[in-house]
Structure 1
């Protein structure tokens, strides 16, 4: 998003899978808001986990405000405040906080982490990439569940066979 002053019209989907560490409301907020408002075909999917609560070798490795958990919260709060015409839905249980808006065109999935695990690769492994492609479309959830059982194993090549 730094490379352009406005997100181009041909971009129809933006996904952050535990990768929005650099989010800054002042730097990116207006640009993302304008892009989302430019077309009902533009879709946003953001997934993260509570990395501030995760431990590596028994120690925290992300600050409370430096990880994707906090940055996702800032991003969602910014868009909710600026895009007042949208109705936001929140689903929360013991393991997730899930915000959607505009008929699921905008989605924020935040995995709680009382286990203090590192879920970075698990978000992708457990159908996160598939979800990022199909979120907000008629194909969302067809034959897979985000954070459910992996559904793509039959398409993977064993790395030992090279």
Structure 2
């Protein structure tokens, strides 16, 4: 897939796409073989459970609010303007415990199968189904601490 010149306006997603994934709104902004970028609206009290990208590096730039990121037992808080780096094959979880909505731009490289994953996860609410579909797209969720 060739990268095309152009602008994706603030309120628009590629091909009109916007997905509800784990309670977040993900709006894709760029997708090519080299990278996938999306805007995320992350309500207070929502999270992405700890998981591993087996084929991609990931970055988050916080635009507004704050996000807590867990790397194994370590917890870090990122605020507006901060960039979070999550190398492939390193477990990470993303949490909004701030009391307000957070917004961020997420990027992964290479694009891998994440665009297709988000389309498949749109409005999926069953945790077991979320884990199953994610594994089929090269993202592996870690078991909850009490299940280990």
Q: Is TM more than 0.5 here?
A: no
Identify the structure with the greater strand proportion. Answer: 2
Identify the structure with the greater helix proportion. Answer: 1
Question: Highest relative contact order (Cα 8 Å, sep 6+), 1 or 2?
Answer: 2
TM-score, normalised relative to structure 2: 0.33
Structure number, greater radius of gyration: 1
